[in-house]
Amino acid sequence: MLKIKKTKPYQHNSSSVHIIICTIALICGIVPSLALLTYFTKPANAASLTLSGITTMQEMTPYICDNSTVGETNTLTDIRDESTYTVAKLSDSKCWMTQNLRIVDKEITPEDSDVTENFTIPASSDPWDDTGGVETNKVYYAGNAVNGAYYSWYVATVNSGTAELTGGNAPSSICPKGWKLPRTTEYETLKDLGTAKVGDWNTATDTGYWIGGAEEGSNGAAFFPAAGLVYTGTLSDVGTHGRYWSSTASDAAGAYRLGLEEDISPYIRSFFKYAGDSVRCIAEGWPSKDVNVVAVRVSPVISIDATSGMKEEVDPNKITTGTISATVSANTTYT
């Protein structure tokens, strides 16, 4: 048995999310940090709340997306800069922004964004070249709300997308809290449900693809404009190409993105991290809306992956002692 001290110091947002800080006496001499156990329980209104019942991007939860019907839409405010975006539950049963992100020149925080610490999105600058390399910290916004802003991958991943990230997914993004950059697998799933090329590609008017359905305006599909990209010091290919960052790195220099062109179907390919691409966000999901315990985390050295005996109510104003039984695994050997 592991002896612990535990408190439930606060309730997070409107849902019953309890943060329990546990001091594990057995290993406190080995691990300098406290164990963090996070419990998620279903909000009282989880059975009925849908996309139509919220007003801000930051209110999004997996419960809301699960309860919404495919094709349901709403216009939500991003509280970070008061911009509004349309969102929808698409044919992949995920909730997506259906407009391109355009936030610039703002400090974002863990309270309002998909970050673990504060990050400043830079002000819009002129289109840039490759002089900044992988860690190019640049944004360009030409004032076109349909095409949105263009972000280097370093900015899109709030500086977690460095050269050291040679594979897998960046852990953070400039998306609002409750949202994230899509993984390549999420783009693949959506486009495999159907794509429809639309617009007059010769005049660059409303060109792009409906993705998630085989016809323009299909229920559960979203329009991705051919917004172009920032590359070699210019904004180019507006109306003939579209480029959308994923969270997935390909190697030290590159990351994967969704590509749109007139003559071929949408595809996923790698490109230089210093380029400026568009950003769409997808709602972050939890393993299950009916599971009370979602995660139990400690320092990276030790994880507790099974618990029991934590059902009692605890006075949040005092420390209560108790015991839990747990299976403990570690990436090194301990006595």
| Rounded-to-integer distance, Cα 247 and Cα 42, Å | 28
- Provide the pLDDT for residue 203: 79
- Provide the pLDDT for residue 324: 61
Task: Convert the pLDDT of each residue in 187-200 to its tens digit.
Answer: 999 999 999 999 98
- Provide the pLDDT for residue 294: 42
- Provide the pLDDT for residue 335: 43
This prediction's pTM: 0.74
Phi, psi (deg, nearest 5) at residue 234: -140, 160
- Provide the pLDDT for residue 288: 43
- Provide the pLDDT for residue 321: 65
- Give, in order, the Cα–Cα distances in Å from 236 to each of 226, 229, 231: 11, 6, 7
Spell out, as residue ranges, where the chain has pLDDT lower than 70: 1-47, 286-335
- Provide the pLDDT for residue 17: 33
